[in-house]
């Protein structure tokens, strides 16, 4: 029996999903990041980490890499040609022969459709699209100089900046001030410079600041509304650039994926995103919020690579194995 492998490798975690070619779900495991941007020793560290992670999965099911008929990898840091070339080399080293590789943003599209555009809004941000002939194009994902003004870390910084501006610049008062002070563990504005100069973000802490912005925006706080509107429009600008580059015809599937879209669910940000997209595109868009694990998209992509059609029945079969509750149960030991 041959198997399909899908991998979603971000900067904080990696999910591997294994299934048979006919759609029998086998397993999903979660491991630490395998990203060359996160691991010590760069690409060498990435290869070592992935070997160890896959060994855990394969040993559990008495398999080897030779049992994988095709695989697909959505990996953070697969942004530039030299990175993709090096990552492909490492996958060959591990033993993969037939595989597809792109930035992990592609998985949002593949999870729901053969073609479309995915706007990632998680700890960072990137837009990735694939058209009907299989051309992949990426917008952003390489930092603020490319216009990446979205993602959890960016939003959290903007919230603190707005509070600082209200305290010391000519910024308007904001009702984000008190909850931000509480989060930073301070009581007075004169404690703010030291607090923010020594504060160290992680993904969960960033979400706390974003929740403050969302709650304030729902009360029509101007600073909060401005921040979340700007982020929604920034993501939308990347989507429109991707659509224009890939020359889609007809209805385009636009997928929102990542923890900020899914966990925060900011009405202000989402409305700004969809309004900008809908007003900028002459044809229709189909907006979808991805709730399935992105690794499912990698599995479906692996099946396409194998020369098989990913039918709606196959998609439903895999999704039924990985409902939100089952997914949480399967990865809870991570």
Q: How confident is the model at residue 197 (pLDDT cuts 50, 70, 90)?
A: very high
Phi-psi group of 220: left, alpha or beta (phi > 0 → left; psi -120 to 50 → alpha; rest → beta): left
Residue 230 has pLDDT above 70, yes or no: yes
What's the pLDDT at 22?
82
What DSSP assignment string belongs to 283-305?
Answer: S-EEEEE--S-THHHHHHHHHHH
| CA 134 – CA 151 distance, rounded (Å) | 27
| CA 56 – CA 45 distance, rounded (Å) | 17
| CA 307 – CA 315 distance, rounded (Å) | 16
Mean residue pLDDT of the chain comes to 92
Distance of CA 241 to the CA centre of its chain: 18
Residue 279 has pLDDT above 90, yes or no: yes
What DSSP assignment string belongs to 158-187?
Answer: HHHHHHHHHHHSSPPP-TTHHHHHHHHT-S
Distance of CA 126 to the CA centre of its chain: 8
> What integer is the mean pLDDT of 214-229?
97
> What integer is the mean pLDDT of 18-40?
88
> What integer is the mean pLDDT of 121-132?
93
Q: How confident is the model at residue 292 (pLDDT cuts 50, 70, 90)?
A: confident
What's the pLDDT at 320?
81
Q: How confident is the model at residue 330 (pLDDT cuts 50, 70, 90)?
A: low
Q: How confident is the model at residue 298 (pLDDT cuts 50, 70, 90)?
A: very high
201 and 151 in contact (C-beta within 8 Å)? Answer: no
pLDDT in tens, 97-117: 999 999 999 999 999 999 999
Residue 334 has pLDDT above 70, yes or no: no
CATH of domain 3-104+293-330: 3.30.420.40
Domain spans of the chain, in order of start: 3-104+293-330, 112-291
254 and 286 in contact (C-beta within 8 Å)? Answer: yes
Residue 333 has pLDDT above 80, yes or no: no
- Provide the percentage of residues in the chain whose pLDDT is more than 90: 76
| CA 219 – CA 217 distance, rounded (Å) | 5
What's the pLDDT at 326?
65
| CA 108 – CA 100 distance, rounded (Å) | 15
| CA 129 – CA 241 distance, rounded (Å) | 10
Q: How confident is the model at residue 274 (pLDDT cuts 50, 70, 90)?
A: very high
Residue 202 has pLDDT above 90, yes or no: no
> What integer is the mean pLDDT of 149-173?
96
Distance of CA 148 to the CA centre of its chain: 13
**Statement: 112-291 belongs to CATH 3.30.420.40:** yes
Q: Which of the residue ranges 50-64, 120-134, 139-153, 307-321 would you say has the lowest mean pLDDT?
A: 307-321
> What integer is the mean pLDDT of 221-227?
98
21 and 303 in contact (C-beta within 8 Å)? Answer: yes
Q: Which of the residue ranges 28-42, 83-97, 114-128 would you say has the lowest mean pLDDT?
A: 28-42
Task: Tell which wins on pLDDT, 327 or 302.
Answer: 302
> What integer is the mean pLDDT of 3-31?
90
Phi-psi group of 42: left, alpha or beta (phi > 0 → left; psi -120 to 50 → alpha; rest → beta): left
pLDDT in tens, 255-264: 999 889 988 9
What's the pLDDT at 328?
67
What's the pLDDT at 135?
95
Q: Do 112-291 and 3-104+293-330 have the same topology in CATH?
A: yes
What's the pLDDT at 39?
82
């Amino acid at each position: 029996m041959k198997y399909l492998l899908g991998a979603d490798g971000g900067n904080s975690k990696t999910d591997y999903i294994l299934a048979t070619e006919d759609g029998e779900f086998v397993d999903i495991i979660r491991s630490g990041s395998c990203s060359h941007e996160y691991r010590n020793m760069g690409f060498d560290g990435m290869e070592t980490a992935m070997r160890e992670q896959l060994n855990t999965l394969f040993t559990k099911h008495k398999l080897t890499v030779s049992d994988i008929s095709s695989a697909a990898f959505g990996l953070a840091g697969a942004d530039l040609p030299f990175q993709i070339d090096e990552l492909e080399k490492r996958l060959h080293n591990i033993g993969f022969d037939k595989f597809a590789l792109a930035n992990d943003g592609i998985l949002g599209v593949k999870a729901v459709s053969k073609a479309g555009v995915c706007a990632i809004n998680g700890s960072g941000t990137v837009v990735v699209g694939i058209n009907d002939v299989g051309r992949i194009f990426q917008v952003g994902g390489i930092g603020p100089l490319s216009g990446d003004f979205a993602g959890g870390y960016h939003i959290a910084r903007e919230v603190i900046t707005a509070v600082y501006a209200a305290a010391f610049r000519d910024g308007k008062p904001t009702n984000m001030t008190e909850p931000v002070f509480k989060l930073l563990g301070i009581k007075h504005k004169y404690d703010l410079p030291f607090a923010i100069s020594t504060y160290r973000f992680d993904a969960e802490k960033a979400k706390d600041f974003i929740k403050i912005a969302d709650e304030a925006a729902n009360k029509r706080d101007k600073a909060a509304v401005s921040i979340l509107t700007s982020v929604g429009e920034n993501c939308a600008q990347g989507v429109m650039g991707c659509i224009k580059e890939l020359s889609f015809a007809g209805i385009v599937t636009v997928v929102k994926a990542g923890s900020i879209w899914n966990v925060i669910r900011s009405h202000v940000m989402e409305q700004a995103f969809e309004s900008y997209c809908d007003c900028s595109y002459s044809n229709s868009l189909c907006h979808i919020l991805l709730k399935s694990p992105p690794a499912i998209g990698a599995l479906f992509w692996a099946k396409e690579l194998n020369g098989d059609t990913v039918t709606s029945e196959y998609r439903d079969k895999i999704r039924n194995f990985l409902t939100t509750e089952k997914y949480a149960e399967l990865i809870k030991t991570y």
